[in-house]
Amino acid sequence: MPSTVVLGLQWGDEGKGKIVDMLAADADLVARYQGGQNAGHTMVVEGVKTVTHLLPSGVLQGKPCLLGNGMVIDPVGLYEEMQGMPVPLPEVLALVKISDRAHLLFPSHKLIDGGAQSKEIGTTGKGIGPAYESKVGRRGTLAQSLRHVDKLVETVRLAYEVAGGDASDLTDYLDKLVIAAAVLSPLLVDSAALVNEVYDTGGDLLIEGAQGTWLDIDHGTYPYVTSSNTTIGGACTGLGLPPQKLDYVVGIVKAYTTRVGAGKHATELLDATGDHLRERGNEYGSTTGRPRRVGWLDLVAVKQAILINGVDELAIMKIDVLDELDEILVATAYEVDGAELVRFPSDQDVFEASKPVYQPLPGWKCNTIGMTNIDDLPPLAKAYLDFIETHVGIPIRFISTGPGREETIVV
Ligand code: IMP
């Protein structure tokens, strides 16, 4: 496929990193289009776990990677992440390009993100909202400023003081910024030119979303969202790629639902089953370590996310986490004041008032960990997947049976 977009259909943490890492084997360029260090994309290759926050997940496949203009980037954080990769730094530097129109994220943004409003939302505290506020408020700093480090240092210092901080606390950061700017500025590119050139010359473009559909600033469960467009439109604006060049969309869905931070979780399990899934699925934030709020699969949300994103095929992740359950519930509708809703409500008060209507399905009660062949799946696991496919009306292409790259069934 000339271009493939991989994005999440829930509240993030669906397992996008693993699928991007897999698909990157055939890519000529892997590009992130939004978000920043709030993301945590986990990959397990030959038993070694790597988490990326800013770098596209294609980096472990040794593929050229682009940080798109829609991202907000802490240059010091990016350089540190590059140094921490299992791939030697010169190789990482040879792979990575950064849009000169991406926005920079500074300690001032993180300082503001430590405030009361952020705590109420339950943000990751990485400065994401304040950095996008600077951008939209036309007070932001473009990545191209890395080319003018003296001016940049002054900007960072001033922004920190305006945010109420003491600039003398920044000495260490500013020293690192000078080094990071020298290393990163040769990587700056015109990203719109790059992605279009790869596409127009027949290259395979892999486009990596971060967070999930229901955290989208426009379509998500506002205000309990992140500050970027995680949905399909973000891929166009965050890279400079026109919609006709988005050929194929893979929607990533965890076999159950998790959410981190505040905001309603319609199918949340606050009982022993929830604890079991959290432990078995290791549902702890890869960026913040926070325990994720675990619940049943919510197909009302998934179906609407498919609509918004024009999803072609699904990847169902972590099916093995459900292995030990006697019964599995799936939400197929919401009930509000006695009426049944099959479509995710755009009115947040209605969403707040809604209760899930569940379809119970029998558990398969046997081990699916590491399976790579659809024929090996127990019939009741297949029935669970068939139920999802029939309900949402699009095919499942990938089924993940473990964190490792190879622990995957390709249908
Ligand atoms: P922010 O993106 O740090 O501003 O956080 C806003 C909301 O999005 C909070 O509820 C976070 O927990 C959530 N969030 C941000 N990034 C991720 C992610 O990568 N996975 C899951 N939730 C996320």
**Average confidence (pLDDT) per 10 residues, the chain, 411 residues:** 94 94 94 96 87 92 96 98 94 97 98 91 95 97 98 97 96 98 98 97 97 98 97 98 98 97 96 97 89 97 98 98 98 96 94 97 97 97 98 97 94 94
Ligand 1 close to Cβ of residue 122 (< 6 A): yes
Atom number in ligand 1 closest to CA 261: 10
In the reported structure, the alpha carbon of residue 12 is separated from the centroid of ligand 1 by a whole-number distance in angstroms of 8
Cα gap 123→55, rounded to integer Å: 20
Q: Do you find a cis peptide bond into 243, omega within 30 degrees of 0?
A: no
Residue nearest to ligand 1 atom 19, measured at CA: 39
Cα gap 301→232, rounded to integer Å: 16
CA proximity to 235, closest of 1, 24, 35, 54: 35
What sign does the CA torsion over 82, 10, 28, 242 have?
negative
Say what the pLDDT of residue 1 is: 64
Centroid of chain to Cα 404? 18
Q: Helix, strand, coil shares of the chain as percentages rounded to 5?
A: 40, 25, 35
Both tokens assigned to 335: 């009930």
- Supply φ then ψ for residue 81, to 5 degrees: -65, -40
Ligand 1 close to Cβ of residue 31 (< 6 A): no
Say what the pLDDT of residue 43 is: 85
Cα gap 357→245, rounded to integer Å: 38
Say what the pLDDT of residue 46 is: 86
